[in-house]
Structure 1
Amino acid sequence: MLNERLSAARKIASGLHQAEDAIDETMIRIAHLAAALPAARRDTNMSAIVGQEAVAKVANALAAAGEVRQLLTDAHIALTATQKQVGLGARMFGAGVKPPASASLVDDDGLGAEVARLPLARAS
């Protein structure tokens, strides 16, 4: 049963990190597009009204991607709590917080070292 939970945690962690990386890449690409639009308008000496609707849509897309990223980080935090609920315990430290030097990675079940290698609580 523990092996199944560990396997599921690995799959979930991998999927979560891929999704976080994907939304970050999406935001980077949208931001580059958002920067290119006014630069192109300026470089071609066009009126500020030219392409304004497109600029506004791209800005809204970037804001929407930011909302998606927030939802993913909220899910990341929720999954860290879920990890403990399913018996994998709080054996890792996330959100960029380093464990105290004296912290033990082994819980009562002696499985802390195995679970500690799971990247579920990786800082985003």
Structure 2
Amino acid sequence: MLNERVSAAKKIAADLHQAEDAIDEAMIRIAQLAATLPTARRDTNMSAIVGQTAMSKVANALAAAGEVRQLLTDAHLALTVTQKEVGLGTRMFGAGVKPAAAKLRDEGSNDQAATEVAAAPFARAV
């Protein structure tokens, strides 16, 4: 049963990280577009009102992507709580670095007997 929970946790972690990476990539590309639009307007000597509606839409898209990213990070932290609730305690499911505020350690986890599972290296941190 523990192996099934660990396997499920690994799949969730992998999918979560792919989603986080995807939104970061989307934000990078939207930000690049947001920089290109006014640069192109300036480089072509167009009036400030040219393309303003499009620039506003792109700015709103970047803000919306930021909201999606916040929701994903909220889900990430919620999954950390769920991880403990299902008896997996504190584990690293990868190599990412978290800020100190995100480290929710539970020294009294109920799965300390499964040291071979806890010591297994994974691709990214949850």
TM-score by length of 2: 0.81
Aligned-CA RMSD value: 2.6
User: After superposition, where does 1:8-23 map in structure 2 within 5 Å?
Assistant: 8-23=8-23
Q: How far apart in 1 are the matches of 2:15 and 2:29? A: 21
Change (3 A) 1:60 1:116: farther
Q: How far apart in 2 are the matches of 1:115 and 1:21? A: 25
Q: How far apart in 2 are the matches of 1:119 and 1:71? A: 24
User: After superposition, where does 1:35-114 map in structure 2 within 5 Å?
Assistant: 35-92=35-92, 95-97=98-100, 109-114=112-117
Which position in structure 2 is the counterpart of 1:32? Answer: 32
Does the 8 A contact of 2:34 with 2:55 survive in 1? yes
Change (3 A) 1:45 1:108: closer
TM-score by length of 1: 0.82
Identity of aligned residues (%): 69
Which position in structure 2 is the counterpart of 1:101? Answer: none
Q: How far apart in 1 are the matches of 2:85 and 2:66? A: 29
Q: How far did 1:108 drift?
A: 5.5
Q: How far did 1:34 drift?
A: 0.2
Does the 8 A contact of 1:92 with 1:121 survive in 2? yes
- Unpaired segments ≥5 residues, structure 1: 98-103
Work out the number of aligned pairs and report it: 116
- Unpaired segments ≥5 residues, structure 2: 101-106
Which structure has more relative contact order (CA 8 Å, sep 6+)? It is 1
Q: How far did 1:36 drift?
A: 0.2
Which position in structure 1 is the counterpart of 2:118? Answer: 115
Q: How far apart in 2 are the matches of 1:51 and 1:38? A: 9
